[in-house]
Amino acid sequence: MVRKITPSLEERQNLWRLLELAREEDLGSGDVTSAILPAALRAVGRFVARQPLVFCGGAMLEAIAVRYDGAIQTTLHCPEGLPVEAGAVLAEWAGPARGILAAERVALNFLQRLSGVATTTREYVEAAAGTGAAIYDTRKTTPGWRELEKYAVRVGGGLNHRKGLYDAVLVKDNHLAIMARAEGRDPLTAVGRELERIRPYLPEGAFIELEVDSLEQFGRALGLGVDIILLDNMTVEELAEAVRLRDAAGARGRVELEASGGITLANVRAVADTGVERIAVGALTHSAGAVDISLEVEVD
């Protein structure tokens, strides 16, 4: 059963901004090729999967159609998040042929990109299934596309990490390096003090996460009161040991552990089996390829 997922207000607004840019760069002053068609000619265009994929973007098709020609009617044949085989009809447009052809490339660009992210995400989610580990995205998104790509991750069964620098604290290696130089002493001690200072001023629901790259750092981070500890580029043996140390310290349920760095489909199951609660995968967005979807058009 596919759970119903709809884009949020912010995600719809992101679509409209991107759609305006896409329409301007592609349509410009008008489609001089489709002008050869009779203005009254009507057509039906069917969006067809050319490979197995997880469908994402159908919720945006109507908005795209209306922006090109308000007379185009959109019919969805496939819900968001449904895995389909090659040959499946995902959706269709019916209306003025000129408008359908003008909107074709932009619509396919959105569908192919978002379905690619959803499909890649589903592969990681299925690889880690049954372990208790959840697959999270990162900020490694296409500039301008973050809201939509994070929506596609959810459609694929993954979970969203922080959206940006404003909604959660994530202290990374560069923060620690700068803190060490600025303070002239142990950065973890200084960071712990500063985190306590800023915690009351964080947005509601914001978490505090700290990146460590060694078990020595990890042991000390457990006592800093953070919500999540990011285990950066650790081996599966080190990840398992971190889980053991966390549990032995009585911090299970208080501190979640997140594996990050070098996660691939080949190793994600082994990482998930270590007992970490979270796995952050940059590849969901920065390496997902566009899937093959076409628009087949015929005269109505």
- Tokens for 84? 């389909």
Is 95:42 a contact under the CB 8 Å cutoff? yes
Contact assessment for residue 64 and residue 295, using Cβ atoms and an 8 Å cutoff:
no
Annotated catalytic residue, options 17, 50, 172, 193: 172
Task: Exactly one of 92, 104, 149, 232 is catalytic; name it.
Answer: 232
- 267-268-269 Cα angle (round to 5): 95
Q: Is residue 163 annotated as a catalytic residue, yes or no? A: no
Q: Is 4 a catalytic residue?
A: no
How big is the CA angle at 96 (ends 94 and 97), to the nearest 5 degrees?
A: 90
H helices then E strands: how many in the chain? Answer: 10, 12
Catalytic choice (92, 211, 256, 277): 211
Strand order, beta sheet including 293-299: 73-76, 89-96, 42-49, 293-299
Catalytic residue among 23, 46, 139, 140: 140
Active-site residue, 105 included: yes
DSSP H or E stretch at residue 169: strand 169-171
Instruction: Please indicate whether residue 232 is annotated as part of the active site.
Output: yes
Residue of 3, 17, 50, 105 marked active site: 105
Instruction: Tell me how far the alpha carbon of residue 61 is from its chain's centroid.
Output: 19
Residues marked as catalytic: 105, 140, 172, 211, 232
